[in-house]
Chains A and B, each alone.
Chain A
Amino acid sequence: MKLSRRDFLKLSGIAAATTASGGLASFMPVMAQDEIVMQWWDHFLPLQPLTESVFAAYKEANPNVSVEYSVFSPPDLGQALQLAYPNDQAPDVHALAGINVPIAALQGEGWFAPLGPHVSEEWKNSLPESIFIEGRTTFGGELYSFPIFSFRWHEALTWFDKQILEEAGYDPEVGPRTWDEFRDAAQKITANGGGTVFGWTQGIGHIDRMGATLTRLAHLAGSSGEFDWSTGEYAYGSDAFVNALEFLVSMERDGSLFPTGITIDTRNARSRWATGSGGLFMDGPWNPGVLQGNFPEFLEVVGVSQAPVPDLDTPAYTYSSPKSGDFWISAQSDYPEHAAAILQEFTSESYQIALAERMDQPPLDLDTVAKANVHPTYSKSMDLFRDIVRLAPDPLVKNPAVSEVLSRMNDIRPNLGEIVQGAIAGEVSDIAGTLQAYSDQLSAERERAISEAQAEGFEVSQDDWVFSNWDPAADYTSDMYDA
């Protein structure tokens, strides 16, 4: 019989001494226990009370199972996972944030355990068909994960203090609709602001967010986004991107931008906006949720309107990629069946309604919001999303081997968000040239990665980024990939 470490300690009598004093016990490595303790990591701080209530309910039904829950900030979560997996320290269940590696590549490294074997057919059938996406939620047809949030949202809604906007001559129910109106409203607010209130407050120092925001504005100006789906080429040099960035820069030149905004992130910018810097603020649907927790008085005067567009005559849309799963069971977990049982709770209607009430990212089905007790701006946001957010095609879904290209591509810096910040701070004089150069560098890098992947036997080419049947006004649904 093999003598385990624990037996050895017992025999030598040390165990008794160490467990007798709690302090010393904490110096010993963790030992096998009859109690099941699961580790759960995610970055959904606003959902923490809700998530904990799910764990508590599960513990009530299964008294020997408890969950140690850790909420990380997104970059910390990414680094923690990066360090935990190679050392067999991965949590049982975790979210993915702060790691931009394609999920298929992580799956290829054996990170995840399937959900499918531990759930009932009945539960699987209750999920909306649209969430089963190979390379995003399923691998080899087996279900690994599912989204708890909808893809149908964007982070460029216009938020404002209704009274301030009204004083600038705009109807707070409608908001500034076009770039010209947005710019004009911002100038008027600044003029009325007595030197302390500014027309536009934004966390320009929030690099990733500004890249995403610029992409949204470019969508609404007629671009299909990062890629031109008719050719598969990078599209950052297109007029839509250039004009959108010039629109943002023009507001800084007007003196409308809250000056401190250049270096701070969205979290700080929101705090300043809610406590006096005023004006217009571009943010996602979670804004009322955060305000409710931290600035409840201010939430009462807040209004929301659609992201601005260059002109009202052309129909405008913005595109979101298909959602990946939000929680993943680690292949290193000893308790995938418990993990799966807990995860199933997240699709229940009561959970989804409670999720909507946290006012974070929209729940899987936007209609759930109607049944929930939420701030009017949150339910209005859902309508705004239905109007303009469409499902984008995804090269990864068309050809899973695309992940071999993406995981071979190195970052190009300065990246899109850094270019936005640089342009606004006056460091980029030639906006069109810089965006085109960025686009060209990305194309060259992708070409290199494609030939590298091809050389290793993967069948992938730039054609995988071409979607000739893409309709700008419609969702690109799964059946359209086969066409």
Chain B
Amino acid sequence: MITVGRYNLRWQTLLTIVVLTLLCLIWVYPFLWMVSASLKTQSEVFSSGLNLIPQDPQWHNYQRAWVDAQFSRYMINTVLITVGTVILTIVSTSLAGYVLGRYRFIGRRPIMAILAGTIFIPAGYTIIPTVDLANKLGLLNSLWGVILVLAGTGNVIHILLFSAYFSSLPKELEEAAVLDGAGFLTVFFRVMLPLSGPVIATVTILKFLGSWNNFFVPLVFTFSRPDLRTLSVGMFAFVGENETDWTGMAAAATISLIPVIIIFFVMQRRFVEGIAGAVKQ
């Protein structure tokens, strides 16, 4: 046993940590490169190749992204859109996943078939009818429109995840609750939903990432309201016909990724809680 801080480590664990650290270095390298590029000059980005240390940190790249490219404004829009989308998605997919995963009812099979069927069709080009519909519903040029569309697309895998998770929870959980006189809603909100932390975390992370980075929907939905644009839409300001502002783009990307990383770091804790502890309570 080797003692490191509060951990007593067996040599296997130590070896695991060493291997993981090496692996993670490869894994995070391009991210670090991006952060470093955000502090370099344009010519240094290319002349220094894979070198990570900027000669003379160019903090004004951040000013260019935050002020000139209006990323401060885009940040607020993106947060509003993403939070709205994630909440709406969690509510709708957990409800649907619960009943599809734990109950058999008339219409369940066709619903599952339709859901599963749609995930195979490449969806990139469906933006045209989507915009057409949103225009008719009067949803263009508002953040609500963006939220509704983002919350209404790409959710089948989330529903399947919830459904698989809920169906794997032991039956005794709700039987005990039903004996105590709990109804359908109480069982779901008091017993089932609190146990689904890991899936909520997964869906939150993926949906957060998806709506944070979505380009097309916020672009198209803010044509007449550039002030409602999001971070990912703002990125196009760095790419021109004959040049790319790589340092500005790297700074903008770094700014826009920090919230995503924080969300991930916070949410990933849910992955160690498991249902075991919850069952004991």
List residues of chain A with CB under 8 Å of any chain B CB: 23, 26-30, 39, 43-46, 68, 70-74, 76, 80, 83-84, 86-89, 91, 97, 266-268, 270-272, 274-276, 284, 286, 289-290, 293-295, 297-298, 360
Q: List the B side residues contacting A23 at CB < 8 Å.
A: 76, 80
Main secondary structure of the interface of A (DSSP, over half): helix
- Beta-carbon contact of B236 and A76 below 8 Å: yes
- Beta-carbon contact of A26 and B132 below 8 Å: no
> Given that A91-B223, A276-B47 are known contacts, is A45 also in contact with B240, CB under 8 Å in the complex?
yes
A186 to B274, CA, bound (A): 64
- Beta-carbon contact of A294 and B43 below 8 Å: yes
Q: List the B side residues contacting A88 at CB < 8 Å.
A: 135
Interface residue B192 (Cβ < 8 Å from any Cβ of A) = no
Q: List the A side residues contacting B220 at CB < 8 Å.
A: 80, 83-84, 89
Interface residue B131 (Cβ < 8 Å from any Cβ of A) = yes
Q: List the B side residues contacting A286 at CB < 8 Å.
A: 242
Question: Please, what's the 1-or-0 string for B41-85, where 1 marks a CB less than 8 Å from any CB in chain A?
Answer: 011011100000000000000000000000000001100100000
Min CB distance, B82 to chain A, in Å? 14
Chain B minimum-CB-distance residue to A47:
B240
Q: List the B side residues contacting A270 at CB < 8 Å.
A: 242-243
Q: List the B side residues contacting A27 at CB < 8 Å.
A: 142-144
The segment from B87-95, B176-184, B225-233 that touches chain A is B225-233
Interface residue B237 (Cβ < 8 Å from any Cβ of A) = yes
Within 8 A of A (CB), among B213-266: 219-220, 223-228, 236-237, 239-246
Chain B minimum-CB-distance residue to A76:
B236
> Given that A46-B240, A83-B131, A267-B242 are known contacts, is A68 also in contact with B46, CB under 8 Å in the complex?
no
Chain A minimum-CB-distance residue to B76:
A23
Q: List the A side residues contacting B80 at CB < 8 Å.
A: 23, 26
Interface residue B128 (Cβ < 8 Å from any Cβ of A) = yes
Min CB distance, B88 to chain A, in Å? 14
- Beta-carbon contact of A70 and B242 below 8 Å: no
Interface residue B140 (Cβ < 8 Å from any Cβ of A) = yes
A23 to B224, CA, bound (A): 18
Question: Please, what's the 1-or-0 string for B113-145, where 1 marks a CB less than 8 Å from any CB in chain A?
Answer: 000000000000001100110010011111110
List residues of chain B with CB under 8 Å of any chain A CB: 42-43, 45-47, 76-77, 80, 127-128, 131-132, 135, 138-144, 219-220, 223-228, 236-237, 239-246
A360 to B128, CA, bound (A): 34
A-B CB contact pairs (8 Å), 26 listed: A27-B144, A29-B141, A30-B141, A43-B241, A68-B227, A70-B226, A71-B237, A72-B236, A73-B239, A80-B219, A80-B223, A87-B135, A89-B135, A89-B140, A89-B224, A91-B223, A267-B243, A267-B244, A271-B43, A271-B45, A274-B43, A274-B46, A275-B47, A289-B242, A293-B42, A297-B43
Min CB distance, A85 to chain B, in Å? 10
- Beta-carbon contact of A43 and B240 below 8 Å: yes
**Contacts A29-B141, A84-B220, A267-B244 known; 9 new A-B pairs at CB < 8 A:** A46-B240, A89-B220, A91-B223, A268-B244, A270-B242, A271-B43, A276-B47, A289-B242, A294-B43
- Which 9 interchain pairs have the tightest Cβ spacing? A45-B240, A275-B47, A275-B46, A89-B223, A294-B42, A73-B239, A87-B135, A290-B243, A271-B46
Q: List the A side residues contacting B76 at CB < 8 Å.
A: 23
A77 to B226, CA, bound (A): 14
- Beta-carbon contact of B143 and A87 below 8 Å: no
A270 to B241, CA, bound (A): 13
A84 to B138, CA, bound (A): 14
> Given that A83-B127, A84-B223 are known contacts, is A271 also in contact with B242, CB under 8 Å in the complex?
no
